[in-house]
Amino acid sequence: MLVLCLLLSMNQGRVILESPMEMQVFQRDGRDRGRIALRGRLEGMGDVLEARLTGGKAKGEWKPVSFDDRVAGFAATIDAPAGGWYGLEIRLRKGSALVAEGSVKRVGVGELFVVAGQSNAANHAEAKLKPSTDKVVACDGSSWRVAEDPQLGATGNGGSFIPPLGDILVERLGVPVGFFPVAVGATSVREWVPAGVAFERPPTLTGNIRSVGPGQFESTGRLYQALADRLRLAGPAGVRAILWHQGESDANQKDPNRTLPGGDYRKLMEEIIRASWRDGGRETPWFVARATYHTPEDKRSDDIRLAQESLGKTLALAGPDTDALDGDHRDNAGKGVHFSAKGQSEHARLWSEAVGPWLTRQTGETWPGRRGPGAVSMAPGGRFRQHAMDRPRPPVVTPPEAGKAPSDAIVLFDGKDLGAWKTDKLRDGKDAAPWKVADGIFEVVPRTGPIVTREAFANCQIHIEYRPPAVVTGRGQGRGNSGFFLVGHPEIQVLDSFENDTYPDGQAAAIYGHYPPLVNANRKPGEWNTLDIVFVSPVLDGRGKVVKKARYTVFHNGLLVHHDVEVPGSAVASPISLQDHGNPVGFRNIWVRPARDYDNP
Ligand code: MG
């Protein structure tokens, strides 16, 4: 009775839609378009079958769909723009009367991947992850859903790299991304070959292996079959690529007789790849990762890695090298073989960097750095997404109190002694700096010569405090003159330029002989002044020739007086020198902070 009511409500007919499935993604053909496979059966008599896409970039026009009324079935495609989700409607008409209709709420055209291999391609990682958008989906061979860990179709109850990889690709490419996870934990490549390919050494675990004669084994073909099935299921344009992450169960086995020689690894991979091309009806690209890591004590097998590398240069494309992901990238506090949450995220990033540039060359897009609405947002350097929470936190540094150094500085004068400084004019064979230290400051002793730091500094921030004499004597260049040098580069002038005229490129805070300061920020004679300098070292070529000049940025009493100006000099690392110009200028609180790198605390 219920069935009858349904049939009546559907105008006495039915469209039974087998394809597309709810949330299914089809591989796009180029950058902007793809084809959605329509397949199903019809119940009820009609003469026109038609379908349309709604939502997003779809135009919503009804398009005829050919069908075979002898078997009451249809198998066709409908063109669709690549992009977001569309609604699909299909209807059977007889004249103007509606006989039956069917629909799918969400179907998309974007990028498709098969993910195969062993545990680190399956769900054996430490953290169960979720994509941040419903446009990252996965299919276990019978249905599609948002690709939350654990992924259906692969083994394990933990996490994978699929959600973060999907997020990166969706953000970068602006299309939905679908995965067919088929990886199985602890499997050897020997278990993945199609049935009928014989080999001599059985793997450590033999669940998918059978004996076919004395010293001869073959795979049951079950794992390969799952992979080949997904290729057939994918639709009119197949999948973009097969992502292969496997090798641990072939490398360095406890029983050395179960270890697979690299040459055999390569041969068996060739069998799998060629079989997938034959059975899939197209040469779907394979990306082969370098994956042989077991423990901190057994980080790699060069034999298997070489085979993976050689595949990546010939029959396949190079996937990421994940053997480099050690320490806190691994579970069990860095002792495990599987990835930690941090490792999963890094694994995904490495895959995106292996696949993304190649993929965008196929579609005519650019990777990275696509800009515009909805485009992404990798932070400069390409290692992290914008607003990524897994970015290293900048180190905590205690900022200086007035007259003190910050906590991470190299202190060149702390009020006590000039141990960090020396003189070139030896006295009694000693190079101790001869200037006067008293009351927490030091002072130029006229005609003793300059002093210079024992240490040299490359790219850095430098802080200096100085005080011209309170009692004014002399004028122009003769009043409170000293100076600050990164040896080999121009002087930054120290002078009493408070109501004391001289040539502008020689007044206080000038880059002497090159640039006057942008403003005159001098305090009165006898008061303390600050100079804060950012020094960017020059870049030299192999012969020592400057290919990128050194640069200064300088603040005088907190005011910008030079902004990123080029200066001559080829010294990459320089000691700091203070000038003896015959005036008793005082100094205090001098420190240097070597420049830090982003994301490298
Ligand atoms: Mg000077």
For every residue of 459-503, DSSP letters joined together read: SEEEEEEEE--SS--S-GGGSS-EEEEETTSPEEEE---TT----
Q: What are the sequence ranges of the domains in the chain?
A: 2-108, 111-363, 410-594
Taking ligand 1, which is a single-atom ion, which protein residues have CB atoms under 5 Å away?
481, 483, 579, 581
Backbone angles phi, psi at 281, to 5 degrees: 75, 10
Among 409, 411, 453, 410, which Cα is nearest to 575's? 453
Kindly report the length of the chain: 601
* Ligand 1 center to 492 CA (angstroms): 8
pLDDT digits (tens, 9 = 90+) for 303-360: 999 999 999 989 999 999 999 999 999 999 999 999 999 999 999 999 999 999 999 9
* Ligand 1 center to 577 CA (angstroms): 11
- Is there a contact between 118 and 249 (Cβ–Cβ < 8 Å)? yes
Among 279, 243, 287, 275, which Cα is nearest to 113's? 243
* Ligand 1 center to 583 CA (angstroms): 10
pLDDT-derived band at 590, boundaries 50, 70, 90: very high
* Ligand 1 center to 494 CA (angstroms): 6
* Ligand 1 center to 478 CA (angstroms): 9
How confident is the model at residue 379, as a pLDDT?
67
Class of domain 111-363: alpha beta
- Is there a contact between 158 and 126 (Cβ–Cβ < 8 Å)? yes
* Ligand 1 center to 421 CA (angstroms): 18
Among 67, 20, 78, which Cα is nearest to 44's? 67
With residues binned 3-state (H G I as helix, E B as strand, rest as coil), the percentages for the chain, rounded to 5, are: 20, 35, 50
Residue 182 and residue 184: Cα distance in Å, rounded?
7
Among 102, 92, 10, which Cα is nearest to 49's? 92
* Ligand 1 center to 596 CA (angstroms): 30
Domains 2-108 and 111-363 fall in the same CATH topology: no
Residues contacting 204, CB < 8 A, separation 6+:
188, 249, 253, 254, 255, 258
Residue 347 and residue 122: Cα distance in Å, rounded?
12
* Ligand 1 center to 593 CA (angstroms): 24
Residue 283 and residue 276: Cα distance in Å, rounded?
8
* Ligand 1 center to 38 CA (angstroms): 82
* Ligand 1 center to 477 CA (angstroms): 8
pLDDT digits (tens, 9 = 90+) for 25-77: 999 998 999 999 999 999 988 999 999 999 988 889 999 999 988 888 999 99
* Ligand 1 center to 298 CA (angstroms): 60
Eight-state DSSP code of residue 197 = -
As its CATH architecture, domain 410-594 has Sandwich (2.60)
- Which is more confident, 7 or 416? 416
pLDDT digits (tens, 9 = 90+) for 96-150: 999 999 999 999 999 999 999 999 999 999 999 999 999 999 999 999 999 999 9
pLDDT digits (tens, 9 = 90+) for 5-14: 444 444 578 9
Residue 357 and residue 139: Cα distance in Å, rounded?
25
* Ligand 1 center to 433 CA (angstroms): 18
**Residue 131 structure tokens:** 């994509």
* Ligand 1 center to 381 CA (angstroms): 41
Alpha helices in 296-418 (DSSP H): 302-313, 331-334, 341-363
* Ligand 1 center to 111 CA (angstroms): 65
Q: What is the mean pLDDT of the chain?
A: 92
Q: Confirm or reject CATH 3.40.50.700 for domain 2-108, answering yes or no.
A: no
* Ligand 1 center to 496 CA (angstroms): 10
**Residue 595 structure tokens:** 């420049």
